[in-house]
Amino acid sequence: DEISGGAFLDEYTSHGDHATTVDPAAVYRVRLCTAHPIHEHVRVCEFEQLLQSEPSKPQLRRLGELMYQSHESYSAIGLGSDATDMIVDLVRQEGEAGGLYGAKIT
């Protein structure tokens, strides 16, 4: 699920990418970082299909949930920030009563 940079370098010596370096002290969450784009693709496909249907409250709720899932996944791999989380939280607090069904920052 995860590997330290040191363990990776001990095992493989290099990753072949001259633009980046492996930090021996860092822990790399390989499974989460691999799962994110796979699950994101599934979410995007469902989102696109939903957009083809007539607007309805259930449709808007599902679109919003997909956006929240996307944001949570993005944050789980360390790409989010406190500021973007705050924006998404504010949208969630306002919610459907304010005409807001979801948010994501990616």
Question: For 33-63, what is each residue's pLDDT tens digit?
Answer: 999 999 999 999 999 999 999 999 999 999 9
Q: How many CB atoms lie within 10 A of CB 90?
A: 12
| Residue from 21, 75, 73 nearest 42 by CA | 73
Q: What is the mean pLDDT of residues 78-106?
A: 95
Beta-sheet strands, E only, within 20-91: 27-28
Token duo for residue 76: 């789980």
Q: Environment class of residue 98 by beta-carbon count within 10 Å: exposed (0-12), middle (13-18) or buried (19+)? A: exposed
| Residue from 40, 10, 4 nearest 25 by CA | 4
What residues does each domain of the chain span? 3-98
Confidence of residue 106 (pLDDT cuts 50, 70, 90): confident
